[in-house]
Amino acid sequence: MKNVQDIYLLSPMQQGLLFHALSDSANGAYVERVSWLLSGNVDVDAYRDAWEHTIKSHPILSTSFHFEGLDEPVQVVQRRVKLPWQQDDWRHLSTAEQEQRFDKLLREERKKVFKLNSAPLMRFNLLQLQPNLYRFLWSYHHLLLDGWSISLVFRHVLEAYERLRRSQLPQPGAIRPYRDYIRWLQQQDAQAAENFWRQTLRGFSVPTKLGVERSTSGPTAPGERYRKLHRVLSVETTTALQSLARQQRLTLSPMIHAAWALLLSRYSGDREVLFGSVVAGRPAALKGAETMVGLFINTLPVRVKVSGEEHLLDWLKQLQSQQVELQQYEYSSLRQVQRWSEVRNGQPLFDSVVVVRNLPIDESLRAAGGAHAGSSGAAGRDRGVELRRVERGGEPGGALAAGAWRGSG
């Protein structure tokens, strides 16, 4: 117990992820992998020390999860953790061989599972490709972080690196720990949340079906149960949507929700549909929530009436108002919301989830002053490190920021 800094309960999203991670531990669906290239005069020791400092600064990065023999699972923050750092020299390999070796490393990483009761739930691989070029792979469990937090971690690592390579101590700054968010959750009005969700879901007793039959016959190999279909909107369509949103004082989120609601209505034949939505979960009432590192996202139901009689813009504004109202109860546990609904036990509350995310990766990196995503200018090289490419596996319950991420897992 000497190495234990803190012990506290899990957030609703952590509870759900822990349940699914334990139910499907061999698949590794909730292990994220982020990879990028570092070029220039890289100080490897300073870079590793920057990660050490960042992990010490954010308790969630030194957290493990314990559940055996407990009425409720808890997360335990360690005072000190050993950095699982692997460094290899691949300069003797050709570019093609390096790519093959990296693909093999990714496959091996997918097979590795984390012991959830042993911190840190992260692994690091630094691979030297050329005299002034490195590839870095960071693997971590989704129980720790959401997409927004990744940009914060990037920024803190680069800020620490800049100071360390100049032989200066990193500035700790005012960092609110994830525990403050858990404490805030415990202070919320559970009765108000229950009243809101019972009213919102009243009269809805059957999940909205996609109308597409799924085959459930025969065993499915791990990692092959899902398929991805990637589509990118044209520049013209994206510009037109953004222009409409600005003119009507809308965000893109209700427009995307409206499109999915129309699709569900057409496929199911229902005039009223229900689907899940991933919310940021960073409450405005919690000061500094936007700078806290941890898992804040949540998945909650969205109920939409598709009458076909309302004017489109009026309907979109109504959907946006619903989203604003829902933000007051983003802290709600989906498990509890399910219980408060009229959908009978054993049935899912919804069969589809819509994710609208805006992850400020480029902005955070540029603001750090230590790297430039996609830049090859002299300023980045002079600072000693240049982030040239970011790759990332898909986040369960999350989405990737266009132009900032490319899938690697």
Asked if 200 and 304 count as a contact pair (C-beta separation under 8 A), the reply is no
* pLDDT recorded at residue 376: 29
Q: Which residue blocks in 58-189 are alpha helix, DSSP H?
A: 95-111, 147-164, 178-186
**Residue 144, token pair as written in the block:** 């720790």
Residue 65 in 3-state DSSP?
A: strand
Which domain CATH number covers 207?
3.30.559.30
Whether residue 274 is found in the same domain as residue 263: yes
Domain count across the chain: 2
**Whole domain around residue 328: which residue ranges?**
189-211+240-355
User: Which DSSP state fits 27?
Assistant: T
pLDDT at 307: 83
Residue appearing with tokens 């799924």: 214
Residue 203 lies inside a defined structural domain of this protein: yes
* Low-confidence spans in the chain with pLDDT less than 70: 25-27, 172-173, 213-226, 359-409
Q: Does residue 230 lie in a domain region?
A: no
Q: Is 33 found in the same domain as 130?
A: yes
CA angle (116 as vertex; 6, 228 as ends), nearest 5: 125
221 in any annotated domain: no
Do residues 311 and 370 both lie within one domain?
A: no
What per-residue confidence (pLDDT) applies to 30?
87
pLDDT of residue 370: 39
Cα dihedral 7, 13, 16, 18, rounded to 10, equals -40
Pair 69, 40 in one domain: yes
The DSSP secondary structure of 325-360, one letter per residue, reads: HHGGGTT--HHHHHHHSSSPTTS-S-S-EEE-----
Chain centroid to CA 37: 21
Q: Is residue 223 part of a domain?
A: no
Let me know whether 346 and 370 are in one domain: no
Burial class (CB in 10 A: 0-12, 13-18, 19+), 135: buried
Report d(CA 132, CA 127) in Å as an integer.
11
Nearest to 197, CA basis, from 309, 308, 298: 298
Q: Are residues 328 and 372 in the same domain?
A: no
What's the confidence (pLDDT) of residue 392? Answer: 53
Q: What is the pLDDT of residue 402?
A: 25
Name beta bridge partners: 7.
Answer: 76
Is the same domain home to 204 and 281? yes
Asked if residue 234 belongs to a domain, the reply is no
> Does a structural domain hold residue 156?
yes
Distances (CA, A) of 56 to 60, 63, 136, 149, 159: 9, 11, 20, 15, 14
Does any domain span residue 407? no
Please give the C-alpha separations between residue 407 and each of 31, 140, 147, 393, in angstroms, as whole numbers: 14, 15, 14, 5
In this structure, the answer to whether residues 171 and 66 fall within a common structural domain is yes
| Buried b or exposed e, range 160-186, using 16+ CB within 10 angstroms | bbbbbbeeeebeeeeebbbbebbeebe
**Which residue from 161, 139, 384, 366 is spatially nearest to 375, judged by alpha carbons?**
366
Q: Which of 355, 298, 294, 283 is nearest to 141 (CA)?
A: 294
Q: Does one domain contain both 274 and 290?
A: yes
Q: Give tens-digit pLDDT for 160-217.
A: 999 999 988 887 667 899 999 999 999 999 999 999 999 999 999 988 988 776 655 4
User: Residue 17 is encoded by which pair of tokens?
Assistant: 């992820």
Do 299 and 172 sit in the same domain of this protein? no
For residues 101 and 112, membership in a common domain is answered with yes
How many Å apart are CA 83 and CA 119, to the nearest integer?
9
Same domain, 106 and 197: no
Question: Looking at residue 149, which CATH number applies to its domain?
Answer: 3.30.559.10
318 in a domain, yes or no?
yes
Query: Where does residue 298 fall: left (phi above 0), alpha (psi -120 to 50 degrees), or beta otherwise?
Result: beta
